[in-house]
Amino acid sequence: MKKKSDPRHLTRRKAVTHLFEYGFRKKTGSDKLTKGVLKNLEGIDKIIAKSAPAWPIEQIAKVDLAILRLAVFELLFGKTAPFKVIIDEAVELAKEFGSETSPGFINGVLGTVIKEEKND
């Protein structure tokens, strides 16, 4: 089992906090992951909207949206880790930062993203 002190987890955690902040102040972080997400934000948001049609982007909790944006970036643009690892990390971040329902929501949306990716 990975530890919360794992450097990759800490890097993702930092990126999520920057992306969460961006949702309010449009201030960007300087880390590689945050910059990558923001560079591809329009495409990432289209993918999230397609994968969660019942939840318009504006209605998704800001913290869940930050986690989803990071995970979709890693899954489709960064491709630095296996899908299962990225989804597990996103669910762990949702448990840490989100609401009671966040982990299931994140897992479901990312599962749909993966299915769509395999179909394309």
Please tell me the CATH code under which domain 7-119 is placed.
1.10.940.10
Q: Please write the tens of the pLDDT for every residue from 63-108.
A: 999 999 999 999 998 877 899 999 999 999 999 999 999 999 999 9
> What span, in angstroms and rounded, lies between the C-alpha atoms of 51 and 72?
11
**pTM, to two decimals:** 0.91
Q: Dump pLDDT digits (tens) for 49-69.
A: 999 999 999 999 999 999 999
